[in-house]
Structure 1
Amino acid sequence: MRTMHTMYQSGTDTDDRNWEAVSRVVFPVSDQDLVLPLYAIEWTRPHLTDDVFNPRLDMEKMPFDSMNSKAVRHLLNESIEDHASTAANDVFTVDSRHAMTVLAGRNVSLCTFFNAFPASYWKRWTGISAVRFSAKVRGIGEIALYKSSGRGLFSALDTINVDTTHDEAMLDADGFASIETVLPMNGLIDGGYFWFDAKAGNDAALNIEDAQWSVPCGEKTAVPSDTGSTSTASTTLSIAITTFNRAKYCLRQLRTIAHEPALVERLDTIYCTDQGTDLVRDQPGFEQVANELGSRLTYLRQTNMGGSAGFSRGMYETLKAGTSSYTLLLDDDAISEPEAILRALQFADYTKRPTIVGGGMLHLDNRTVLYTQGERFVPASVWMKPSQGLDYNHDFARFPLRDSPERHRRIDSDFNGWWMCLIPTAIMKEIGLSMPFFIKFDDTEYALRAAEHGYHTVCLPGVAVWHQAWHDKDPSRTWEEYFFQRNRWICGLLHCPKPSRRFAFEMLYGDVNVGIKLVYSALRLRHMGLRDILRGPQYILDSMPGKMAQVQQARKGFADTTLITDVDEVPAPAREFAMPFTPTTSKAIKKSGLKAIARALVSRGDGTKDAQPDVAIPSDQAIWRSFVGVNSALVTSPDGNTVAWCRRDSALFRQQVREGLRISQTLLKNWERLSQEYRESDICSIDAWGKVFKEQTITD
């Protein structure tokens, strides 16, 4: 079989053996109606706004106050995206995991989250000199190769005309011809992707199989023999999954991995650390999956010590075994795209130096929405924000990658969530394992620690898992608030040796925020967290196995923690909740917020003896404004399963705010000493964790 069309750079090696496929074009074989826009879309006319061409427009304020209704309607009509309305199955069909058919007369774009090649990331973090696109095609049509810039502007690289109805000598036994083209890595410093669009002839379909992006093997930086890998050709990875009573989800994750041959080939071991009572091994189907994985599955049981201990166990076991180049941390309840795991692994093989490679988080309940593609740590507030000012929760179904120019700029990160994160063993050997945080801030802290040792974190496009979105959670109304508060400020101590003036404000703001919402249990947990920080790093490690029980005990006795499953058990609210708020300016919102704080601090309101709630507040409106002037309220939990009759206790609120100020002043006064103490401790060392695992492992 000969190649139908080839364009080579001068001097480029054309031997297939010298190229490695690092990003295979894939398609979903299930849930297509939910996820297909992440893989392939109907081609439409590109729609780019004026500011892409003229960045000066970003400086100009929109004169809304001088616009009449006609001008507003024109503005709204201009903003409507010209996206395809044709059903996907009338444009193309997914034939298999690696094959699609473009129907006669139709046009498809692969400039999508999972199938555009993130060329600028390979340009920035690796030393590769070129990328090869190759595919097998059958039928009539054309394949057009494109490149974007960091501004989101497109340029054509090559067009390959396809007609396999003639010259059978070019075809394989199934009637397919091979096409390929090599693309130089030019113009990609600020950002940019490679992708292809496919157009079928007017009277014939176009079949595409095994499309992939490859890089020169000789430019790989990872050497298996340096890591002790048993493979003579490739690096390998172990996967660390930790689970607590999510047995069905965890089994699904194991089954997904087991059924992906290309991934299994690069897999040493899955370390499945079960910290629950509803055990994964007791699930129907576990034995079959275990048999399929064989020696590639190591099932461990230990006391529930949270995600940081579960992931650290997988990291620890990987280092102890000494055969893997990487450990992939993977959430038990996430849905994986297996190709994404391979992409993270192979990208790490080519980076200039060991690099943490993470992926984005797609919403499990809205599958085309990307929560984030990169976040920054803000030292002044010890908090995070999306990189480059991009919004959270981008919907690729409404705003495809090809029509989102801001998404074509390379997005650099300070850390990546541990819903999916690949960590080289070389980094673990040097900086240790996770901090013993139980949950929260372990991923942020680890990446910041790695950065202080010169190791970057890259959140690679085309790499992601589907995970439960945060809008169904409110840590301030659960035991998680303790770990949020404690771990946030330990992270600050570790990576901000001198305190910022804003730290005191952040601590006070957090107290006031939960207090105004009548969540007094959260005040107790927040202060408990600060007191525990003052006890020093060794206490944090030593207390971890039993801390969860202590936190849950500390929450008892508060109205906001007394959960009611049947609303008929309490009197009906005096009035129905209504949104009395009208849109206003940011300045006015801040002013009203300050008034609400002042009012709460001087209030004599008391709802502790109310015989009837003032109002029932739905979970999505449980923000400070909804509680102004309310003495007691039925508040729905974020999961919608229970309500709590929250009652105002003004005296308790003032007492707790004063206590919070006292503790935070003590912490800030001793900040520099504590910072040095935490930074010099070895509570995240391999040896320290080894002692914990020896004591907390469950054998039966």
Structure 2
Amino acid sequence: MQHEHRMTVQRTLFAGPDPRVVPGMYVDADLARIRPERTALRLEPGAVVSTNTYFGRFAASYWQRYTAVTDVRLTLHHACGPQTLLRLDVVASDASGRRRPLQTREITCQGEVSVDLEIRRFVDGGGIWFELTAIGGGAQISEVTWSVPAPERDRRISVVMCTYDRPAEAISTLLTLGGDAAAADLIDAVHVVDQGTRRVEDHDEFHRVKSLLGDRLHYVTQPNLGGAGGFNRGIRELTRSGECSTDIVVMDDDILCEPESVIRLSAMSANATRPILVGSQMLLLSETYRVHMTGEWEALDELKAGRPSANGRNGLDALTDQQDVRTDAGWNGWWSCLLPAEAVAAVGLSLPLFFQWDDIEFGIRARKAGFPTVTLPNAGVWHADFHLKDYNDWTRYFSWRNAMIVSAIHGRFDPKQISGVVAREITQHIVSMQYGLAETFLLAVRDFISGPSVLHDGGQAKLGELARLRADYPDTVRVDAATGLAADPPIVVKGPDPQRDRLDQVLAKRVVKQYLGRLAPGRVAISAHDNRWWHVGLFAEAVVTDSSQTGVRIRRRDKGIAVRQARELARLCLELRRRGPELAEMWRSAVPELTGPDNWQRLFDGE
């Protein structure tokens, strides 16, 4: 009888890649009665263990939806004491989270046990996991795998990492990835694109990376072209011959990497009925059990990067809530995302947007070309929390400008709608006395209107321009709390939030109050939690805590600046309304040239 060739698509791990990760992401048990290691688990007598956890579950719903695989095999090695009975329960859930038993085995002695499970009745949601009970004595399990019949095509992967002045973080990620034998075995090449002044190759541990990866490591340096330039340089290197022989996993340098997630992305891609982008979820570094967004779509009419998908969740606690109901995604962040070779060949490179929205735009273009995105609910990497980054930052320029560009190319770009969104957003900054932030947004709108030539240099010159622009506004400067709060201003807490259908009316009232100076006198202190424009706009001077909790910013009413910015905003909004269709067509027609290999090569060469 011919031996069936199978592919391991998932391992059950019992501990994370770093002590910061809470154990409950891998195993649910009384920690006093188990001894978890990365690939093995020791159970004390009476221990009860469940793998109904973020990394422990098999995402059955996604496998039924996107692959033709009809069964999965759970295999584990076990060693039991002479008086031990190890009970194995395999359990499934449905879209509502209701559990249903699949199989039960009673295990003794030492050996290997395999359980074949059908992947059916999971279309709308549900997962599969197993539970163990050690009865009478102790036991150990190890080398737990989930496998499926091997697909006809053996898909390999290459990794592209973009890095800028984070040599220690990049080294850590590379060592974690290269140090996992199962993940490293899938990788044909690792392209590290270093755009910083503190080089990765100068780090003391770089020799270990070279030793692990050998000739698979390709290290290049280039001018700082942002995340878009770094990722696209690696993709360009892999496709220079005109085709790509591997799927490409793009990956940030500053993540806490779970190599198992790379295995799961690759397995889903290899077994999918058609080429799909497969992304990791972003988990928070400060709360290693929390999911940033389970799945998201762009909101182009609102110029917003992400909104939860249908059935999606923002800030989900993975220790208490499992992602049973299946959701979809319009795109996936490039903190870790697999791009199938077919999509890269068909879609090409992304727009040279320098920072933010390049991954979103690529995902939209790929989707339109027939390559959807799947955000896999049991594949994640940990990334610095977005909510701990202050909104008043130079990056807002790129976020806003690029949002307008992508909306013009791929959205309805209704002039009335877009100009309304622009007017509302910037007016909120003005009334909350964030004049430097308002000026940052105004520059973004002006540059969008100026057309595709603003992307000519890939974004490098804009960094210096933004630094000079923002230096003119004291409210952009973060100061330490002892200095900013030296006068002991009283803390004021915001009241109830305005009703959504009354926000524009409240904004108009704040504009009038700020213009006439009918504001609460004196300096007040406002926490980051209470930092809302409708609250800050009631005062003439406010010391507002930075979202990063590293300091405060001092905001003071300046009628002259506010009036000037309001006039500029009105002029720009009128131009958006008048020239909306023309601007959209201008940007759409520029896409082939902007994303073309010749334009990117020019940028890589520093021209």
Q: Tell me how far apart the structure 2 counterparts of residues 666 and 91 of structure 1 sit (CA, whole Å).
A: 68
For 1:600, the equivalent position in structure 2 comes to 511
Q: Tell me how far apart the structure 1 counterparts of residues 408 and 308 of structure 2 sit (CA, whole Å).
A: 22
Give yes or no for contact 1:355–1:423 (8 Å, CA) kept in 2: yes
For 2:431, the equivalent position in structure 1 comes to 516
**1:345 aligned partner, one-letter code:** S
For 2:146, the equivalent position in structure 1 comes to 213
**1:308 aligned partner, one-letter code:** A
Q: Tell me how far apart the structure 1 counterparts of residues 586 and 595 of structure 2 sit (CA, whole Å).
A: 13
Give yes or no for contact 2:61–2:122 (8 Å, CA) kept in 1: yes
For 2:233, the equivalent position in structure 1 comes to 313
**1:392 aligned partner, one-letter code:** N
For 1:461, the equivalent position in structure 2 comes to 377
Q: For residues 312 and 426 of structure 1, do their structure 2 counterparts lie closer, same or farther at Cα, with a shift above 3 Å needed?
A: same
**How far has the Cα of 1:564 moved from its partner?**
3.0
**1:92 aligned partner, one-letter code:** I
Q: Does 2:102 match 1:157?
A: yes
CA deviations on 1:535-573 (whole Å, 9 max, x unpaired) are: 2224323352322212222212112124434743x6834
Q: Does 2:597 match 1:686?
A: yes
For 1:298, the equivalent position in structure 2 comes to 218
**2:108 aligned partner, one-letter code:** D
**1:451 aligned partner, one-letter code:** R
Match of 1:491, SS state, is helix
Q: Tell me how far apart the structure 1 counterparts of residues 144 and 97 of structure 2 sit (CA, whole Å).
A: 23
2:131 is matched with which residue: 182, 197, 211? 197
Give yes or no for contact 1:117–1:195 (8 Å, CA) kept in 2: yes
Segments of 4+ moved more than 6 angstroms: none
1:284 is matched with which residue: 204, 209, 224? 204
Q: For residues 15 and 215 of structure 1, do their structure 2 counterparts lie closer, same or farther at Cα, with a shift above 3 Å needed?
A: farther
Q: For residues 672 and 16 of structure 1, do their structure 2 counterparts lie closer, same or farther at Cα, with a shift above 3 Å needed?
A: farther
Match of 1:553, SS state, is helix
Structure 1: which 5+ runs fail to align?
A: 1-13, 43-87, 165-175, 224-233, 402-406
For 2:164, the equivalent position in structure 1 comes to 244
Give yes or no for contact 1:359–1:373 (8 Å, CA) kept in 2: no
Q: Does 2:287 match 1:369?
A: no
Give yes or no for contact 1:114–1:462 (8 Å, CA) kept in 2: yes
**How far has the Cα of 1:434 moved from its partner?**
1.7
For 1:269, the equivalent position in structure 2 comes to 189
Q: Tell me how far apart the structure 2 counterparts of residues 287 and 640 of structure 1 sit (CA, whole Å).
A: 37
For 2:469, the equivalent position in structure 1 comes to 554
Q: Tell me how far apart the structure 2 counterparts of residues 289 and 268 of structure 1 sit (CA, whole Å).
A: 15
1:148 is matched with which residue: 84, 93, 105? 93
Q: Tell me how far apart the structure 2 counterparts of residues 500 and 668 of structure 1 sit (CA, whole Å).
A: 5
1:627 is matched with which residue: 536, 559, 571? 536
Q: Tell me how far apart the structure 2 counterparts of residues 381 and 481 of structure 1 sit (CA, whole Å).
A: 15
Q: Tell me how far apart the structure 2 counterparts of residues 97 and 29 of structure 1 sit (CA, whole Å).
A: 7
Q: Tell me how far apart the structure 1 counterparts of residues 309 and 2 of structure 2 sit (CA, whole Å).
A: 40
**1:134 aligned partner, one-letter code:** T
For 2:10, the equivalent position in structure 1 comes to 23
Question: How do 1:66-81 residues align onto structure 2 when only pairs under 5 Å count?
Answer: none
CA deviations on 1:341-369 (whole Å, 9 max, x unpaired) are: 11101211111111111011111011111
Q: Tell me how far apart the structure 1 counterparts of residues 397 and 62 of structure 2 sit (CA, whole Å).
A: 37
Q: Tell me how far apart the structure 1 counterparts of residues 503 and 43 of structure 2 sit (CA, whole Å).
A: 56
Q: Tell me how far apart the structure 2 counterparts of residues 360 and 30 of structure 1 sit (CA, whole Å).
A: 16
1:386 is matched with which residue: 299, 304, 308? 308
Match of 1:393, SS state, is strand
Q: Does 2:54 match 1:138?
A: no
**How far has the Cα of 1:298 moved from its partner?**
1.4
For 1:182, the equivalent position in structure 2 comes to 116
Q: Does 2:479 match 1:564?
A: yes
Q: Tell me how far apart the structure 1 counterparts of residues 373 and 312 of structure 2 sit (CA, whole Å).
A: 18
Match of 1:635, SS state, is strand
For 1:108, the equivalent position in structure 2 comes to 49
CA deviations on 1:387-428 (whole Å, 9 max, x unpaired) are: 12543111123x142xxxxx2111111111111111112211
Q: Tell me how far apart the structure 2 counterparts of residues 554 and 189 of structure 1 sit (CA, whole Å).
A: 53
**2:75 aligned partner, one-letter code:** S
Q: Tell me how far apart the structure 2 counterparts of residues 369 and 217 of structure 1 sit (CA, whole Å).
A: 33
Q: How many residues align?
A: 599
1:450 is matched with which residue: 321, 343, 366? 366
CA deviations on 1:170-213 (whole Å, 9 max, x unpaired) are: xxxxxx31111221221111111111111111x11232111111
**1:210 aligned partner, one-letter code:** E
Q: Tell me how far apart the structure 1 counterparts of residues 421 and 6 of structure 2 sit (CA, whole Å).
A: 52
RMSD: 2.4
Q: For residues 656 and 693 of structure 1, do their structure 2 counterparts lie closer, same or farther at Cα, with a shift above 3 Å needed?
A: same
Give yes or no for contact 1:504–1:664 (8 Å, CA) kept in 2: yes
Q: For residues 501 and 190 of structure 1, do their structure 2 counterparts lie closer, same or farther at Cα, with a shift above 3 Å needed?
A: farther
Match of 2:439, SS state, is helix
Q: For residues 30 and 688 of structure 1, do their structure 2 counterparts lie closer, same or farther at Cα, with a shift above 3 Å needed?
A: closer
Q: Does 2:385 match 1:482?
A: no
Q: Does 2:417 match 1:506?
A: no
More off after superposition, 432-441 vs 285-294: 285-294
**How far has the Cα of 1:524 moved from its partner?**
1.5
CA deviations on 1:210-260 (whole Å, 9 max, x unpaired) are: 111111114x5xx3xxxxxxxxxx322221111111111111111111211
More off after superposition, 103-112 vs 286-295: 286-295
**How far has the Cα of 1:458 moved from its partner?**
0.3
2:324 is matched with which residue: 408, 419, 427? 408
**TM-score of the two chains, using structure 1 as the length reference:** 0.81
**1:579 aligned partner, one-letter code:** V
Give yes or no for contact 1:357–1:457 (8 Å, CA) kept in 2: yes
2:459 is matched with which residue: 540, 544, 566? 544
**TM-score of the two chains, using structure 2 as the length reference:** 0.93
For 2:251, the equivalent position in structure 1 comes to 330
More off after superposition, 99-108 vs 597-606: 597-606
Give yes or no for contact 1:242–1:310 (8 Å, CA) kept in 2: yes
Match of 1:409, SS state, is coil
Give yes or no for contact 2:506–2:534 (8 Å, CA) kept in 1: no
Q: Does 2:490 match 1:576?
A: yes
Greater Rg by CA? 1
Q: For residues 334 and 622 of structure 1, do their structure 2 counterparts lie closer, same or farther at Cα, with a shift above 3 Å needed?
A: same
Q: Does 2:568 match 1:659?
A: yes
CA deviations on 1:597-645 (whole Å, 9 max, x unpaired) are: 42324534669xx9x9602333333222431331122233333334332
**2:435 aligned partner, one-letter code:** Y
Q: Does 2:268 match 1:347?
A: yes
Q: Tell me how far apart the structure 1 counterparts of residues 229 and 17 of structure 2 sit (CA, whole Å).
A: 33
Q: For residues 29 and 640 of structure 1, do their structure 2 counterparts lie closer, same or farther at Cα, with a shift above 3 Å needed?
A: closer
**How far has the Cα of 1:291 moved from its partner?**
2.6
2:22 is matched with which residue: 35, 38, 44? 35
Match of 1:455, SS state, is coil
Q: Tell me how far apart the structure 1 counterparts of residues 539 and 441 of structure 2 sit (CA, whole Å).
A: 24
Q: Tell me how far apart the structure 1 counterparts of residues 38 and 103 of structure 2 sit (CA, whole Å).
A: 26
Q: For residues 118 and 566 of structure 1, do their structure 2 counterparts lie closer, same or farther at Cα, with a shift above 3 Å needed?
A: closer
Q: For residues 110 and 479 of structure 1, do their structure 2 counterparts lie closer, same or farther at Cα, with a shift above 3 Å needed?
A: same
**1:119 aligned partner, one-letter code:** A
Give yes or no for contact 1:493–1:678 (8 Å, CA) kept in 2: yes
Q: For residues 663 and 600 of structure 1, do their structure 2 counterparts lie closer, same or farther at Cα, with a shift above 3 Å needed?
A: same
